[in-house]
Amino acid sequence: MARFEMFVVLAGMRTGSNLLEEHLNALDGVTCHGEAFNPVFVGGPNRKALLGVDLEARTADPFPLLDRIAGGAGLNGFRFFHDHDPRIYDRVMGDPGCAKIVLNRNPAESYVSRKIAAETGQWKLTDLKHRRAAAIQFDAAEFEAHLEALQAFQADILHRLQVSGQTAFYLDYDDLGDLEVINGLAAFLGVPARLTQAPGGLKPQNPDAMEDKVRNLRAMEVTLARLDRFNLGRTPVFEPRRGPAVPGYRAGATAPLLYAPLRGGPEAAVLRWMATLDKVTVDDLPGGFSQKTLRQWKRTHPGHRTFAVLAHPVVRAWRVFCRQIADGGAPDLRRTLVRAYKLAVPEAGADAAAWRACFLDHLRIVRGTLAGQTSLRPGLEWATQAALVQGLGQFAPPDMLLREDTLGRDLAMLAAAVGRDDAPALPEAAPEGGPVPLPAIHDDTVEAAVRDAYGRDYVAFGFAPWAPEPARLRLV
């Protein structure tokens, strides 16, 4: 029984994919059908159809061609680049019966090679006498865009392989001259054929030194030197991914507004404002949606706006701490933190210093939990707002991200966007709650502890250090 039903070469332009295809086609029983799902052509630039499927038919529905490739005699496959038909990418990456061959090349080399090919019009070379040479001008912005697209494609390939429990055969451009590696690929594919010599059809096009191919080599060197090659600036993210939390959405009773709450934010204040706008009670605001019913709501409310409200991380962390721990709103969690993580919760009536110490210790536990260092699974109230907003985007990204510290102004602007010029002021706020006011415990140490726990939010949304503003604190 064959190990795979077909294969895909996941590569990019000027990575050596033509040469790899030549090697694959030299193996008995293996056929690579070129760039079968390139949006501009079918298989190759000069082909009108592939396996009886022309460009128009394949554009309308690519899957019949995929089925013909998979069902051909022997083992068949194709080359796929990041800008090819995404419908095919989704299908083959989720199919363990499709072998994945990942071909990479030094991004600087592939960039220069692509620029030379575009300038000379020569994309393949079969003999030295036909070679066209050129030196190109390096463009830093263009190269960085090229690098970003390559890295995003490779990261997505790796993630999809990981979550589906698959593996791939990885090749570098320089491996294409090593017959032992190519024969190792044949073994991976499960075909008995082996090569005893390399096919001689294609030749390297630009084997010269980089200084002979790039006119402004010094500018290229400066750009490459400042790039973070090892991604040292990246902070690893172990926080669980969040879903869109559709059941928590609340809609206007008459206004075409849809509120996507970020837990720990000023949810009560926003809902009171929405109810006042429509002259109803909070309980009258539609909610409890499923994705199906929310789509129906969207279809029947043209011109709608979806919004979420960002809170400053210090305000949000303190609000959640007060509700869950200080005020005892999450008794099971509080008991766990006290017993397992030795959180010292002060007695009622304790002074600000005691609550500040407890809050700092709580932030330490939150930080460790978001970093995957505790046995706790962080609830939505502990999640970063960046993760929550990312989760919303899985269903539909919000039209607007408002800010708690300018909420009155932002909500009036939102109401005007849906044709309502009668936006009310923010309703009178509920009592603040909590054992002591936030300004009583906030200082540089608290700010630094919050930043340690919620650094993603500071970077993603540009939060500056928090400064007490009474209007902001009333929104609870």
Task: Check which CATH number belongs to the domain holding 189 and give it.
Answer: 3.40.50.300
The residue from 193, 226, 259 where one domain ends is 226
State the pLDDT at residue 444. 97
Mean pLDDT of the chain: 90
Q: Examine the domain organization and report whether 218 and 310 are in the same domain.
A: no
Q: Using an 8 Å Cβ cutoff, are 381 and 332 in contact?
A: no
Q: Examine the domain organization and report whether 310 and 176 are in the same domain.
A: no
State the pLDDT at residue 199. 85
Has residue 69 been placed in a domain?
Answer: yes
Q: Using an 8 Å Cβ cutoff, are 308 and 398 in contact?
A: yes
Has residue 55 been placed in a domain?
Answer: yes
pLDDT digits (tens, 9 = 90+) for 381-424: 999 999 999 999 999 899 999 999 999 999 999 999 999 999 99
Has residue 444 been placed in a domain?
Answer: yes
The residue from 195, 226, 257 where one domain ends is 226
Angle, in degrees to the nearest 10, between helices 352-370 and 313-321: 110
User: CA-CA distance, 104 to 154, in Å (whole number)?
Assistant: 9
Pairing verdict, β 257-259 and 305-310: parallel
Has residue 236 been placed in a domain?
Answer: no
CA distances 371 to 135, 364, 366, 417, 431, Å, are: 48, 11, 9, 39, 34
The residue from 161, 192, 226 where one domain ends is 226
Has residue 50 been placed in a domain?
Answer: yes
Has residue 68 been placed in a domain?
Answer: yes
Where does residue 360 rank: exposed (0-12), middle (13-18), buried (19+ CB within 10 A)? middle
468: tokens are 């007490």
Q: Examine the domain organization and report whether 251 and 221 are in the same domain.
A: no
Q: What is the DSSP string of 178-190?
A: -HHHHHHHHHHHT
State the pLDDT at residue 208. 64
- Residue ranges making up the domain that contains 347: 246-473
Least confident of 114-128, 199-213, 228-242: 114-128
Domain count along the chain: 2
Task: Let me know how long the chain is.
Answer: 476
Q: Examine the domain organization and report whether 17 and 121 are in the same domain.
A: yes
Residue type, 434: G
State the pLDDT at residue 63. 97
pTM of the model: 0.70
Average pLDDT over residues 371-390: 93
State the pLDDT at residue 261. 97
CA distances 402 to 96, 265, 305, 308, 394, Å, are: 43, 11, 12, 6, 19
Please tell me which of 37-51, 222-236, 275-289 the model is most confident about, judged by mean pLDDT. 275-289
Q: Examine the domain organization and report whether 284 and 178 are in the same domain.
A: no
How would residue 233 be classed by pLDDT, with cut points 50, 70 and 90? low
Where does residue 228 rank: exposed (0-12), middle (13-18), buried (19+ CB within 10 A)? exposed
Q: Examine the domain organization and report whether 180 and 283 are in the same domain.
A: no
Q: Examine the domain organization and report whether 250 and 221 are in the same domain.
A: no
Q: Examine the domain organization and report whether 218 and 261 are in the same domain.
A: no
Has residue 81 been placed in a domain?
Answer: yes
| Strand, helix or coil for residue 63 | helix
Q: Examine the domain organization and report whether 21 and 156 are in the same domain.
A: yes
How would residue 234 be classed by pLDDT, with cut points 50, 70 and 90? low
- Where do the H-state alpha helices sit in 325-429? 331-341, 352-370, 385-392, 407-417
State the pLDDT at residue 299. 97
